[in-house]
Amino acid sequence: MGNISVVPFGPQHPVLPEPIHLDLVIEDEKVIEAVPSIGFVHRGLESLIAKKDYNEMVYVAERTCGICSFGHGMGYVEAVEKIMNIEIPDRARYLRTIWMELSRMHSHLLWLGLLADAFGYESLFYHCWRIREQVLDMIEESTGGRVIFSVNKVGGVMKDMDAAMLARFSEKLGEVEDQVIAVRKNFLYDKTVQLRLRGVGVLTKQQAHDLGCAGPFGRASGIATDMRTRGYGAYGDLEFEPITSNEGDSFARCQCRIDEILQSIDLIRQAMGMIPDGDLFVPVKGNPNGEYFMRIEQPRGEAVYYVKGSGKPYLNRLRIRTPTFANLPGLCETLKGADYADVPILILTIDPCISCTER
């Protein structure tokens, strides 16, 4: 038996992108237990329902996260629309889907860059973010914002993409696709990357299932859950299969996410081909009266929005469960038995977003 010591890790740490604190119990160089604690950046967004009416809350919900902002806005408005029995126009459904997939692409490319940075591959990191920039440009051109889209409203969307814009985006997506395919090769067939990722932090399917892992983190362990298959937005009309892997290690998580970027490009293409003409929104009257659980697939996994209203402009309750929260138990499990030097990579492989976990 070696020396057992406890190393505090975070919330401020040079290799940590997010404010999470972990007490790592280590024996020599191996982690034998990890105890997480969060709560360093609580913002109290959910309690703002007392001060902002349900329309203003769209902008608050969007600001839950700085990366998957569109999805948070979309999950919230769809929950309110379900309560109020609003059938939004088909064009709005498709536009939301396109924006959602663009935001998934930029989120995954951001993550790939951060992963490359975590194992010390700076040039690959910059290259990923260079590709991501083009996606951000498309987002900015169509919505007016790079991070916060602000195009959702209860009843539909506020901005349109005309045929010329769709054609331009389709061309641009082709370029991005070529670059992603090239960078996929760099990630998946590079010895340096494999040495750092293969067999690191394995989570079996059973473990992932028992710990309730969500999103690409769970899918890399073979759990084929993808909330998009529920068919919200326009996903019901599009053809796709959840991307899974059976390896369950860090390499599989990387592979799943890269393949999901390509899948997103495919989904956007499908949506662009089928997008119908029509209105962007329907007029909304009255206030939400009732409650609804909305589950959507964010880039990081399944997010849940619980909205309850009682016929007043101010809601009674808004609850957001973000995917990182679901993945923290899985993270602690993967950390057991890992090398101390691999801890930053393992934390990164769940694609943590602690700030949105704390809302």
Residue type, 226: D
- Binding of another protein by 332 (CB under 8 A): no
SS3 149: coil
- Binding of another protein by 147 (CB under 8 A): no
Q: Six-digit token pair at 341?
A: 């030097």
- Binding of another protein by 329 (CB under 8 A): no
**In this complex, which beta carbon is closest to another protein, that of residue 159 or of residue 172?**
159
Q: Which of 81, 96, 233, 258 is nearest to 154 (CA)?
A: 81
Among 41, 114, 147, 148, binds another protein (CB under 8 A): 148
- Binding of another protein by 230 (CB under 8 A): no
- Exposure string (b/e) for 217-240, b if CB count within 10 Å is 16 or more? bbbbbbbebbbbeeebbbbeebee
**In this complex, which beta carbon is closest to another protein, that of residue 40 or of residue 59?**
59
Among 19, 36, 145, 212, binds another protein (CB under 8 A): 145
Helix (H) or strand (E) holding 25: strand 21-27
Q: Are 271 and 258 in contact (CB under 8 A)?
A: no
Among 17, 147, 150, 237, binds another protein (CB under 8 A): 150
Beta bridge partners of 306: 293, 319
- Binding of another protein by 314 (CB under 8 A): no
Helix 69-83 crosses helix 90-118 at what angle (to 10 degrees)? 150
Supply φ then ψ for residue 102, to 5 degrees. Answer: -60, -40
SS3 227: helix
Number of Cβ within a 10 Å radius of residue 137:
12
**In this complex, which beta carbon is closest to another protein, that of residue 15 or of residue 182?**
182
Question: Is the omega angle on the peptide bond into residue 299 within 30 degrees of 0, that is, cis?
Answer: no
SS3 293: strand
Q: Minimum distance between the CB of residue 200 and another protein, rounded to whole angstroms?
A: 16
Per-position x/- string for 54-93, each x denoting binding to another protein as judged by CB under 8 A, each - no binding? -xx--xx--x------------------------------
Q: Minimum distance between the CB of residue 259 and another protein, rounded to whole angstroms?
A: 17
Among 159, 168, 172, 321, binds another protein (CB under 8 A): 159
Among 147, 158, 272, 280, binds another protein (CB under 8 A): 158
Per-position x/- string for 169-198, each x denoting binding to another protein as judged by CB under 8 A, each - no binding? -------------xx-xx--xxxx-x----
Q: Which of 109, 89, 49 is nearest to 314 (CA)?
A: 49
- Binding of another protein by 34 (CB under 8 A): no
Contacts with another protein, residue ranges (CB under 8 A): 52, 55-56, 59-60, 63, 121, 123-124, 127, 130, 133, 137, 140-145, 148, 150, 158-159, 182-183, 185-186, 189-192, 194
